[in-house]
Amino acid sequence: MEERKPKKIIFIAGDKSGDIYGGFLSKKLKDLLGENVLLYSFGGEHLAQHSHQLVNLLNYSVSGIWEVVSSLRKIINIFKITWEKIEKINPHLIILIDFPEFNLRLAKKNNKKYPIFYYVSPQVWAWREKRIELIRKYIDKIIVIFKFEEELYRREGIDVLYFGHPLLEIINDTFFSLPAKRKEKKKIISLLPGSRKNEIKQHLPLLLKAKKLITHQLRDYSFQIIKPKNIEIEFYKKIVKDNTEIIEHSYRSLYQSEFIITSSGTATVEIAILGIPFLIIYKMNLISWLILKHMVNINYIGMINIIAGRKIIEELVQSQASAYRIASLTTEILKNREKYKSLQRNLEKIKQKLYPPSAITATATFIKTSLSSFSTKSRY
């Protein structure tokens, strides 16, 4: 009888959020398949916990058009290395997670040689809608994390699946399952300047200026800066000249906050699920902004407002993101308890729109079932 060899799966995630989703998904797959699967990853520390890491792609992650152009040589080089390693592994399945500039080019390069699932859709509903054609041509299945994305792709005739938002399961498993007595609220305002170094350079000095203004109005509040695990604390200390505490990202550190000022991104969905009122800011390189503002076709940058179809959370973008405006909105919300409670109620409604609550388990189960139809040889 022919020996059954383990199925080989490659994960590719170049953003912090994609690495987190991939880490939990890879763990679920190991739980389901055990020795019947071999997992490889081009990602960060979360994927590395449950797979053989080939390249830490988070080291190559930047945001903004100008920033991408200035890093182009490094990106082209790591793209070439990635493809060479993929061909050596000869996988049964490649799972691309977000990171569209890199991953869609990889899908095109693959050209149906190996089966590809795309987990976490590129934001084609916000800009660059033509990427839908790349997805239609080169992706076998796309697994989306917002219900409205499922409807969009289905209208386009693309093979799409929706199991819910993965953060519901992640936060429930890692935080809400803890004893209630450990989940206390304090008079803390948390500052989240971003998950990439270029974002932090833009946002952190601004947030520290706002902090000084807020302190004059809310003297009994303390502040903390929350940093992602992949960025060293020394990077922050070059910017932070006072005694503001710098702590590592955790759901406990977020949850104990009474209010949060955050850059746009996945953190906004985490904060909404935790039910904490917050404010969104975002600034980028001026050249990137001048180009990007003519390409984007949505009214909001915050995912919570996009899901709601209206502005629930205040957004301060580019010139609107001044220290005075940030401080003014923060103090207004914290001093007006009815407005604060109204925000909490709206966030709970948004959370319900992210259901079902076991997206990662359902996704892993679907992948397990699909693997039986894949061989290491091309199907095309």
pLDDT of the residue at 177: 75
With respect to CATH, is domain 7-164+356-371 assigned 1.20.210.10?
no
Give me the CATH code for the 178-352 domain, please. Answer: 3.40.50.2000
What is the bridge-based pairing of β-strands 141-144 and 222-227?
unpaired
What is the bridge-based pairing of β-strands 52-56 and 222-227?
unpaired
Q: What is the largest CA-CA distance in the chain?
A: 77
Sheet of 93-97: strand order equals: 52-56, 37-43, 7-13, 93-97, 116-119, 141-144, 160-162
Give the model's confidence band at 181: pLDDT under 50 very low, under 70 low, under 90 confident, else very high. Answer: very low
Backbone angles phi, psi at 5, to 5 degrees: -95, 150
Give the model's confidence band at 128: pLDDT under 50 very low, under 70 low, under 90 confident, else very high. Answer: confident
pLDDT of the residue at 380: 36
CA gap 258, 341 in Å, rounded: 11
Task: Report the chain's mean pLDDT, rounded to a whole number.
Answer: 90
Residue type, 1: M
Q: DSSP string of 71-94? A: THHHHHHHHHHHHHHHHHH--SEE
Burial code (b: 16+ CB inside 10 Å, e: under 16) for 175-208 equals: beeeeeeeeeeeebbbbbbbbbbbbbebbbebbb
User: What is the tens place of the pLDDT at every residue in 84-119?
Assistant: 999 999 999 999 999 998 999 999 999 999 999 999
pLDDT of the residue at 289: 60
- Parts of the chain belonging to CATH 3.40.50.2000: 7-164+356-371, 178-352
Burial code (b: 16+ CB inside 10 Å, e: under 16) for 132-147 equals: bebbeebbbbbbbbbe
User: What is the tens place of the pLDDT at every residue in 246-291?
Assistant: 999 999 999 999 999 999 989 999 999 999 999 999 998 766 665 5
Can you give the pTM of this predicted structure? 0.90
53 pairs with which residues across the strands? 41
User: What is the tens place of the pLDDT at every residue in 293-324?
Assistant: 656 667 888 999 999 999 999 999 998 999 99
Q: Residues 198, 62: contact at Cβ < 8 Å? A: yes
